[in-house]
C-alpha cells in the first residue's frame, strides 16, 4: 500500500512537471515567426548568389542563418517547459507567416488552396494548443 | 518533372531523423544550463547533429525531386515526433493532438501540392 501511494505521488509529480507552460507556447509561436523571417531572408539572399564565390557572403543570407539559429535556440529553451507533442507542432505556424511574407514582400501569388492549407494549419495548431489546457487536468497516466 | 523514388526515400529518412532530433532536443532541454556543462549535454549535441544531417540530406533529395512532392513527406515529421515522444518520453496522445496533427499535415499538403 505504502509503496503504491509513493509511486502514485511520483507519477503525479511527473505529470505536474510535464505541464506545458503558456509562455512556452507563445515562445514557440514567436520561433515560427522568426523562422519565417529566416526563410524570407534566405530567399532574398539566395537570389543574390551569382558566379562569383564571394556572393554567398551577402547580408540577407547571413541574417537568414542567424534568425534560423536564434529560432532553434529559443525553441530548445521552450522545450524545457513543456511537452514536445504540444510544442513541436506549433512550429507549423511558420507556414502561415511564410505565405503572408511571400505575398507581401516578394509579391508571390498565393492561391486560394494555399490560404486554405494555412487555415487548416491554424486550426490544427489551435486544437493542439487547446489540448495543453485540458490534458494537464486528466491525471491518469497511461 | 517526376520525383524519383530515391528522393522520396531520402526525404522520408530526413523526416524520421528530424523526429529523433526533436526527442533529443527535449531530453537535452530538460538538463539545459547555460554554462560549460552544455558541452557535455550529449542529447542536445546529437540532436543538433541529426538536425543538421537531416537538413543536408534534404538538399540532396531536392536536387532531383520536386518541392511540392517532398515537402508533404517532410511534414510526416509531425507523426514521427508524436510516436517517438510516446515511446521515449512517456508523453500521452489525445484526440486533440491526433486530429490537430492530421489537420496540420492536410494543411501542408494543400499549401505545397496545389
Q: What is the pLDDT of residue A137?
A: 47
Q: What is the pLDDT of residue A139?
A: 44
Q: What is the pLDDT of residue A6?
A: 57
Contact (CB, 8 A) for A92 and B78: yes
Contacts of A116 in chain B (CB under 8 A): 110
Query: In the block, which residue shows the cell 504540444?
Result: A86
Q: What is the dihedral of CA A87, A115, B107, B52, to 10 degrees?
A: -60
Using CA atoms, how far apart are residues B44 and A131, in angstroms rounded to an integer?
Answer: 27
Report yes or no on whether pTM surpasses 0.95. no
Whether residue A19 lies within 8 A of chain B, CB to CB, comes out as: no
Q: What is the pLDDT of residues B15-50, one digit of tens each?
A: 999 999 999 999 999 999 888 888 899 999 999 999
For A26, A35, B29, B31, B33, the CA distances from A21, given in Å and listed in that order, are 9, 21, 14, 17, 19
Whether residue B30 lies within 8 A of chain A, CB to CB, comes out as: yes
Contact (CB, 8 A) for B70 and B62: yes
Q: What is the pLDDT of residue B113?
A: 80
CB nearest A118 (choices: B26, B89, B107): B107
Distance from the Cα of A79 to chain B's closest Cα (Å) equals 6
**What pLDDT tens digit does each residue of chain A (142 aa) get?**
445 555 555 555 455 446 889 999 999 999 999 999 999 999 899 888 888 888 888 999 999 999 999 999 999 999 999 999 999 999 999 999 999 999 999 999 999 999 999 999 999 999 999 998 875 544 444 3
* Beta-carbon separation of B100 and A124 below 8 A: yes
Contacts of B99 in chain A (CB under 8 A): 124, 127
ipTM of the complex: 0.91
* Beta-carbon separation of B85 and A117 below 8 A: no
Q: Which of B85, B91, B104 to mutate to test the interface with A (most CBs of A within 10 A)?
A: B104
Q: What is the pLDDT of residues B43-101, one digit of tens each?
A: 999 999 999 999 999 988 988 888 888 989 999 999 999 999 999 999 999 999 999 99
Q: Which of residues 46-65 of B touch A (CB under 8 A)?
A: 51
Assign 3-state DSSP to chain B and report helix, strand, coil percentages, each to 5: 80, 0, 20
Q: What is the pLDDT of residue A4?
A: 52
Amino acid at each position: 500500500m505504502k509503496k503504491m501511494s509513493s509511486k502514485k505521488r511520483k507519477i503525479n509529480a511527473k505529470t505536474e512537471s510535464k505541464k506545458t507552460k503558456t509562455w512556452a507556447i507563445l515562445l514557440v509561436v514567436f520561433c515560427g515567426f522568426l523562422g519565417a523571417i529566416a526563410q524570407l531572408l534566405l530567399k532574398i539572399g539566395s537570389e543574390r548568389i551569382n558566379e562569383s564565390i564571394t556572393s554567398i557572403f551577402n547580408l540577407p543570407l547571413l541574417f537568414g542563418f542567424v534568425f534560423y539559429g536564434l529560432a532553434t535556440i529559443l525553441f530548445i529553451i521552450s522545450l524545457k517547459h513543456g511537452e514536445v507533442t504540444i510544442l513541436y507542432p506549433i512550429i507549423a505556424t511558420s507556414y502561415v507567416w511564410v505565405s503572408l511574407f511571400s505575398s507581401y514582400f516578394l509579391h508571390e501569388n498565393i492561391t486560394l488552396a494555399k490560404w486554405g492549407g494555412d487555415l487548416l494549419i491554424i486550426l490544427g495548431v489551435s486544437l493542439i494548443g487547446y489540448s495543453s489546457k485540458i490534458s494537464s487536468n486528466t491525471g491518469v497516466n497511461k | 518533372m517526376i520525383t524519383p523514388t530515391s528522393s522520396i526515400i531520402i526525404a522520408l529518412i530526413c523526416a524520421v531523423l528530424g523526429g529523433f532530433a526533436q526527442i533529443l532536443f527535449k531530453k537535452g532541454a530538460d538538463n539545459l544550463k547555460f554554462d560549460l556543462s552544455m558541452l557535455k549535454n550529449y542529447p542536445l549535441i546529437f540532436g543538433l547533429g541529426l538536425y543538421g544531417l537531416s537538413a543536408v540530406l534534404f538538399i540532396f533529395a531536392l536536387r532531383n525531386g520536386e518541392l511540392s512532392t517532398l515537402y508533404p513527406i517532410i511534414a510526416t515529421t509531425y507523426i514521427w515526433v508524436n510516436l517517438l515522444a510516446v515511446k521515449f518520453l512517456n508523453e500521452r496522445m489525445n484526440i486533440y493532438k491526433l486530429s490537430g496533427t492530421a489537420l496540420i499535415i492536410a494543411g501542408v499538403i494543400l499549401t505545397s501540392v496545389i
